[in-house]
Each structure stands twice: as C-alpha cells, then as structure tokens.
C-alpha cells in the first residue's frame, strides 16, 4: 500500500482529493501548509506527494521547488489553472505530472498509479540497498540517513553527495568528479561542492579541522570513511 502525502489548503476538512485517494490502494496523510509538507517529507517516508497549488502563504510553485531540493519523491501537481504554459512550467520545475481541477477520482488514481510505477521502474534496483559506514546508515530507497541512530535532516543535494561518497568508502574523489556525478554538470563547480560539504559536515557534527567522516586530501579530493575511534566521539 503506497503512502501518499496530500498537500492542500484546510487539510482538516473533507475534500474531493482526499476522497479520491481513500480506499485500499493508498495510505494518506494530509497537511495544509507548505511548511507542514516540507517537514513531513523530512520526517516520514512517503511514496508520492499530491500537491494542490492553492496553498496559503508560500505558493504552490515555490513549494514544489523546495520539495525538489529535499527529495526525489514523485510529485503530482493539482491546479485549477488551464493555462498550458503554466503546466509546462510546472513540469519543467520538477512536477512528475499535472492535473487540472475538477477531476475524477478515477483519473487521479490512474495518474498517481502511473507515476508510482515509473518511479519504481527507475529506482527498483536500488530499493533494497542500505549503505553503512561506521555509525552512518543510508537508506537509498527512502532517501533517509541516520547518524548513530539519529535522523539527519538533509537537503536533496546533501543526501546525494553523502550517498555518492558512502558507496565509495575510503576512496578519494576529486571535487570536479563530485560535481560531475552529483550535480550532473561538467563546468567547474568546486565552490558549490565545498559549500555543500561544509553544510554536510555541520550536520555530521564535525568540521574540516576536526573531521570524523569527511576527510579532505589536499590537492586531491574528498573521501568518506568511518572514524577510527568512534567511541571517542560525542
């Protein structure tokens, strides 16, 4: 049974969207704000997000952009706008599919099933994998990472960077190669890599001067390895 996060205004009231997702196929959690949605994605494993763009405060497109910095979860956007250019823009911003209201329960269910099927086909070979490096445990299926049993609140790229290095423990990877493989770009991006490494170190409870997991090899690159004396770390 797929677990779906439904993001819509006034999540406490019954809605057509929630009614469309009810039944035996999905477990649904609802929230009514962008902030609630972003926190939910960080705190719980979901299989997909259904995002209604009519949100208070932070608007739907910005919520979509921020969701994409946190997770690769499939996102199905629901909008009342019939503007084709807007739909194209949303798809280009990271939506996996867009539906225009009003819509039937059958159509929403069918499109959500299709999005989930494509997602499973694209990542099914990784879903059983858990990477462990010392006290780090990285669940590649649900994009979760824990350090010494505590959940790490990572952005999308921080997770990608950590996962890439964790699959190569002890291997020194040049910054240029990290940028090419994690950001999928070929121009020089060492400053981007360094910034993300700094944020990641902070969340791992270390620094460049006092590393635990992330070690800089001068003029060569970065490697991730388990601390030699983990019991000495706070």
Given a cut of 90, is residue 177 above it in pLDDT?
Answer: no
Which of 83, 100, 126 is at the close of a domain? Answer: 126
Residue 45's domain spans which residues?
2-126
pTM across the whole model: 0.53
Instruction: Residue 144: give its domain's CATH number.
Output: 1.10.10.10
Instruction: Residue 72: give its domain's CATH number.
Output: 3.40.50.2300
pLDDT at 230: 55
SS3 content of the chain, % helix, strand, coil (to 5): 40, 20, 40
| Mean of the per-residue pLDDT values of the chain | 81
pLDDT at 18: 73
Same domain, 151 and 122: no
- For 155-172, how does the pLDDT look when each residue is reduced to its tens digit (9 = 90+)? 888 998 998 898 888 889
Domains: count for the chain: 2
Which of 126, 160, 193 is at the close of a domain? Answer: 126
> How confident is the model over 92-97, as a mean pLDDT?
82
Same domain, 113 and 158: no
Pairwise CA distance, residues 11 & 168, whole Å: 43
Is-contact 171 133, C-beta < 8 A?
Answer: no
> Strands 150-151, 221-224: parallel, antiparallel or unpaired by DSSP?
unpaired
Which of 68, 91, 126 is at the close of a domain? Answer: 126
């Amino acid at each position: 049974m797929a677990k779906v996060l439904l993001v819509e205004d006034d999540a406490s009231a019954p809605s057509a969207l929630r009614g469309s997702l009810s039944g035996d196929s999905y477990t649904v959690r609802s929230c009514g704000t962008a902030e609630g949605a972003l926190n939910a994605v960080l705190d719980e494993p979901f299989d997909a997000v259904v995002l209604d763009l009519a949100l208070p405060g932070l608007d739907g497109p910005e919520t979509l952009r921020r969701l994409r910095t946190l997770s690769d979860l499939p996102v199905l956007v629901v909008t009342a706008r019939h503007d084709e250019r807007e739909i194209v823009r949303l798809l280009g911003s990271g939506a996996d599919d867009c539906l225009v209201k009003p819509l039937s329960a059958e159509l929403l269910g069918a499109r959500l099933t299709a999005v989930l099927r494509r997602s499973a086909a694209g990542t099914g070979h990784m879903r059983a994998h858990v990477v462990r490096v010392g006290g780090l445990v990285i669940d590649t299926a649900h994009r979760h990472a824990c350090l010494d049993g505590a959940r790490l609140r990572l952005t999308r790229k921080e997770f990608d960077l950590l996962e890439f290095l964790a699959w190569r423990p002890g291997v020194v990877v040049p910054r240029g190669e990290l940028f090419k493989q994690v950001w999928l770009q070929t121009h020089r991006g060492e400053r981007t890599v360094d910034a993300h490494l700094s944020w990641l170190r902070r969340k791992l409870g270390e620094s460049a001067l006092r590393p635990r997991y992330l070690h800089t090899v001068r003029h060569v690159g970065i490697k991730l390895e388990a601390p030699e004396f983990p019991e000495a770390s706070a």
